[in-house]
Amino acid sequence: MLTASQILDLVKGGEGYNVDFKRSVPSKVKEISDEVVGFANASGGYVLIGVDNNNQIIGAEIDNNKRSAIQDTIGEISPAIRCDMYSVEVEGKKVWVIDVPSGKDKPYITGGLIYVREGANCQKLRTAEEIRAFFAECSKIFYDAIPCRWFDIDEDIERHNFKSFLEKAHLSEDLPIRQLFDNLELMTDNGRVKNAAALFFGKEPERKFPHAVVRCLRFKGLDKVHIIDDKTFGGPLYQQYLNAISWIESKLEVEYIIEGVGPRKEIWEIPLDAFKEALCNAICHRDLYEEGATIMVEVYDDRVEISNPGGLLPLVAENFGAKSMSRNPLIFGLFTRMHIVEKVGSGVPRMRRLMKEAGLPEPQFENKGFFTVRFVKRQTAQNVIDDRLNDRLNDRLNEREKQLLQMLSKSPGLRTNELSSLADVSLSTISRTLRSLIGLGLIEYRGAKKNGGYHILNH
C-alpha cells in the first residue's frame, strides 16, 4: 500500500512506464481496465485517480456506485487479476490508487483486446496473430531491464546529462536519485539499477557496453569504397543522440533564404526533424542482445542511411507505420519523458510527412537483420554536375551553363525571359545556353508554351 509520501514522489516524477494519472473516474469506466491490462502485461504499475495531467493533486471522490463499476470492469479481465484499490489522504486531498501487479499469467485481455504498457502509453494489440507474435518475441527479458551489477548511483552518474534529463522531463531536482530511479522502474527489487539507467545516465557506458554506440561515416561517392570521415559516439544515450545530430548537420548542405525582414529560412538537403526521428527510433529499438553490431549513420553523396541491429518485430512488420513496439521499453520511456519521441507509432508517418512537405521522395525502409531508413538528398545543380556527369563533360560546361543550372535548381520552372533578367544577359544568349543544356540532356521544358518553364532532369 502506497503512503502519501510515495504518492507525492510518483506525482513529481510524472506519468510513465509504471504510473498513470486520472483526474476522475472516466465516463467510459472501461478505460480503467485498459490501463490495468497494460500494466499487468508489462511490469505492473499504479493508476492514480485525483491527479491531473499537469502533475497536480486535485483529489477525487468515488462513491460506492463508481467503485463498484471499477471493480466490475476489472473483474471482466481474463484471466482474472487481483488489484488493490484504496484511497490515501495527500495534502488534504483524497487520491485513489489502483495497484496493479505484473501479471504471472500473461497475456491479459479486456473486451477481446490486449494492451501493453509502452513508455507512458498503452499499446493495443488487436488480433491473435499479433498477440502470438508479440509474446513469442518478448518472452525473454528486455535487455534494458537486466540488473547492472557494476553501476554505482553515487559514482557513475554523468551529472550534466542527468540534469538535462530532469529539465526536459520537467522533474524536480529535489527528488532523491534513488527514489526517482525507483519511480522510473530503473531499480530491481533488491536495489540494483537496471541496464537502462547505466546506458542513459552513466559515465562512458561503452566501457561495459561497447556495442551501445553510434558510428557515423561519410563516404565519397555513392558506395562504401572511400571513407572521408569516421566518428564513433559513446557516452549516455541522449548525448549520443545530440552528438550524432551535430555531426550530420556538419555533413549536409543547407540553403539560406531571406525574405523581407523576418528570420532567414533554412532549407536542408534532408529535413533535420526526419533524421532526428530516425536516429531516436534506432537508439530505442535496436537489439542490444546483438553485441557484434552498432547503430550506423552513413552519409553518401546522394543519400543518408540510418541502420540499427535487429529487424522489425513481427507485430510491427505486419502493421508497419501503424504500430510501434520497442525492444527497450525503459529507454523508450525515458526519451518519451524528454519529449524527444512524440508518441507511440508516430515515427514512420512523421518521417514520410516531413519528406513530402520538403518536396523529397518518401524515406525507404529495409528490414533484413538490420532495420534501415534511407533518405534521398535534395539535389542541387552542383549535385547534378558532380554526380551525373563524368569529368570530361563537366569540363565542357561553361560558366553561363553552370549559372543557369544553379538558377533552375533553386527555382524550377523559370521561363526564358525570367532567366534572362536574373542572369542580366540577352534573350538570345539565354536561348543558346538553354538549347545547349537540352542537348546535353540536363534540362527540359515542361508545360504549355505560354505558362511552362525549364526543369533539371533527374536521371
CATH match of 4-125 with 3.30.950.30 = yes
CB atoms within 10 A of CB 388: 17
Q: What is the total residue count of the chain?
A: 459
Walk along the chain (459 residues) and give the pLDDT tens digit of each residue: 899 999 998 998 888 888 999 999 999 999 999 999 999 988 889 999 999 988 999 999 999 999 999 999 999 999 999 999 999 999 999 999 999 998 877 778 898 888 888 777 888 876 666 666 666 555 556 889 888 989 999 899 999 999 999 999 988 888 889 989 988 889 987 888 999 999 999 999 999 999 999 999 999 888 888 999 999 999 999 999 999 999 999 998 877 776 666 677 778 888 999 999 999 999 998 989 888 899 999 999 889 999 999 876 655 655 565 556 678 889 998 998 998 876 555 678 889 999 999 888 899 998 877 899 999 987 644 454 455 544 445 556 788 888 888 888 878 889 898 898 888 889 989 999 999 888 888 888 988 877 788 988 765
Question: What's the grid cell of residue 147?
Answer: 540488473
What value, to the nearest 5°, has the Cα angle with vertex 10 and ends 90 and 347?
A: 140
Distances in Å between the Cα of 35 and the Cα atoms of 75, 81, 121, 222, 301 are 13, 13, 9, 49, 48
Which one, of 353, 224, 351, 349, lies nearest residue 296 by Cα? 224
Cell readout for 163 is 540534469
- CATH number attached to the domain at 381-456: 1.10.10.10
Cα 56–Cα 58–Cα 62 angle in degrees, nearest 5:
135
CA quadruple 97, 98, 101, 102: dihedral, nearest 10: -110
Signed CA dihedral, 364, 367, 369, 373: sign only: positive
pTM: 0.59
> Domain limits of the chain?
4-125, 139-378, 381-456
315-352 b/e with 16+ CB inside 10 Å = b?
A: bbeebeeebbbbbbbbbbbbbbbbebbeebbebbebbe
Angle between the N-to-C axes of helices 427-439 and 399-410, in degrees from 0 to 180, rounded to the nearest 10: 80
**Residues 6+ away with beta carbon under 8 Å from 116:** 38, 41, 42, 122, 123, 125, 134, 325
Architecture of 139-378 per CATH?
Answer: 2-Layer Sandwich (3.30)
Task: Produce one character per residue of 90-125: b if its CB has 16 or more CB atoms within 10 Å, e if not.
Answer: beeeebbbbbbeebeebbbbbeeebbbbbbbbbbbb
